[in-house]
Structure 1
């Protein structure tokens, strides 16, 4: 496939020209940054040809500025509106893999890319899978294979090996997006480029609309996703993990287009759900929660942060909001007082789970289960926080009642969040700081955190509290002249040699 077709140069130039954008930010992930200069050169040439061919005289004669953005502060799958605002961009052209999260203030045009795929081999795999099962099949795919879905469906209908008519395809999303002004409509279905569903009366018949990662499809009334078998075309990436967790009750198989083979063993992905349930139980016993801001561009993120803050506070726990860009174990280790971290980000970057993290990192959906007394996990899993915005206000149960902790193996009493009690017991908590300080276990070098209820109390319990001036020494002290020179060799060191 040629370069201009792979990067949708013609469609991108038409989008910029139609909406009369004059400052365009081009966002590239690290793996596509090598092609950025060539894309700018070809795109500028295309825009120039559109201007010269405009004979109506209604076009804008101002020069169009193209700015390349790289090294995003957060996930590369989201539109970097913060970086685009530094150059006062009118819109963002996003290249490569995307989570299709709604934007806050800037319109965006998405170039998914066009990965190569063997149409005949893929159709044969779908047909064989359909003949071996009796349930209807829903075909989902990575956005890099969206360009081939029409050809796959057409070849599948013409294939003589498949006599099934209940094979449906998800709709390809529109390549452009405008910011959502209403936070209650963040999950509305995007306008589809083409209808790939097999339901001829899908526009008239009532049914349920599903949307994930930009893909949308409609099921007839009376049918659920559990009634379908999912056939995924694409890589084993974050988008596929999102599908596996969201539709964990469905049987799912994956077609690897790079190796032209079917992958039916998804035990590793299924094990993730069990791990997430364990982290929910860990979060229930937490006293201090750090809310990690994982995005500054996805619409509704401020609403969710405030919603999580209210939920944590009502549950009798202390919450702190942290902004640090892309989180990693080294960054989170700077906040040892946090028993658990809550990561507010897009659906495809929300799962942060590694043995290197000193404290578990949960999602907003998992927080609603952990901090809502009396809630039970039904098995349904929500990755994007857009669905949580539309949920009714969470009613937190009575915190005075003891609850059973599976990790501690007994009943525990949660911290009562009463401001008056905090003020009265503040002096008592500081007086008993030595009893709650870090302790050594079994004469080993393993530190055990005390049951601190806030960051201030945790800081008071630490043996090292920074370079503070001792209270008993308040008299002025003479200053001392330090060493001179460079660290590689100070002047006094040279004199000694």
Structure 2
């Protein structure tokens, strides 16, 4: 440290005190401290200093054996960059027991050279592929905490089964949609978009409700909804809807009803991930019907005619003046959203503040006692 320049010495002090990612740039090179995505930089050479977090290699190897009792399992070991320094020791403990185990290597050279034949190079890592079917025939074991790196791996290699070991807790687990929260949010957004498109092509209005765990009391607040579609994990998708005011179905049941290209085969799917594009049970929607050829329908709620195709409606020809200015506010909202027509005829609209309209009164003491004998009540003596 004595021969270093004052700026670099101060930078090392900051790096040792705070576990953050810093960039130190000097004329023709970049010295990068902390976590990195390892994206190649073609113009400026980059030297990565990831840091080293402690890893209990023995406990990690024990968790691996618990997760993969079959010694012939084909497993690829991935790790966060801060644990890459301990992967050599972990490999020595497991390679003799597991002949088909493969350890990925972090590629720090920038720009990275071409991957040798038989290797996969992605996300700054090189993976020797020895399985006949490539990575699809392998399981993935990740050393590191749950985060963006693990989510990125699971989304990219979604045909592989994943497990992980968290060095901070010393626990190993099998990664599924239920336990990986980041992946769950990503896939939930994807299936929501798929269901919205499906309902739009079928001429149905859809609304997204975030209600947590559904129960009859929660869903009874939405009397105008004809049917609810529950987007949840496979184990929580099937509900007994006999107690609910409206039916509660799964995304697969909705697609059976609204996707003309899907036919009932007798097989039932509870995992909505199978319905997404690229999955094993995905069925493409048929071409959209032009609005001019759409079959009219009668709404059972309003009794008015409606068009069953809501996709690509023709642009309304409005006069230069605002056409909604001559109507009251409720009518204007009705033209914009059909949900406003429901609220217009509702007998209960929630609490209204009525600021300035309620007279101010002093606080008075309420009744005291229990329900069968308040103190201000007179009771006859026996």
- TM-score norm. by structure 1 comes to 0.38
Using CA pairs below 8 Å that are at least 6 residues apart, which structure has the higher relative contact order? 1
Q: Could you say which structure has the larger radius of gyration?
A: 2
- TM-score norm. by structure 2 comes to 0.48
